[in-house]
Amino acid sequence: MSDCCYSVVGVLIWNDADELLMFERNTPPEGIACPAGHIDEHGTPEQAAINEVREEVGLSVTTLRSLWQGYLPYRCRRQGEYGDGGHAWFVYSATVADYVIDASDRETRNVQWYGFAEIAILAQNDQLEPAWKEILKKVGVL
Per-residue pLDDT reduced to its tens digit, 36-77:
998 988 889 999 999 999 999 999 999 999 999 999 987 676
Outline where DSSP puts E strands in 83-127: 87-96, 108-114
pTM higher than 0.95: no
In 10 A of CB 33, how many CB atoms? 22
User: Which amino acid type is present at position 17?
Assistant: A
Segment 110-124, tens digit of pLDDT: 999 999 999 999 999
Percent of the chain with pLDDT over 90: 77
pLDDT the model gives residue 1? 45
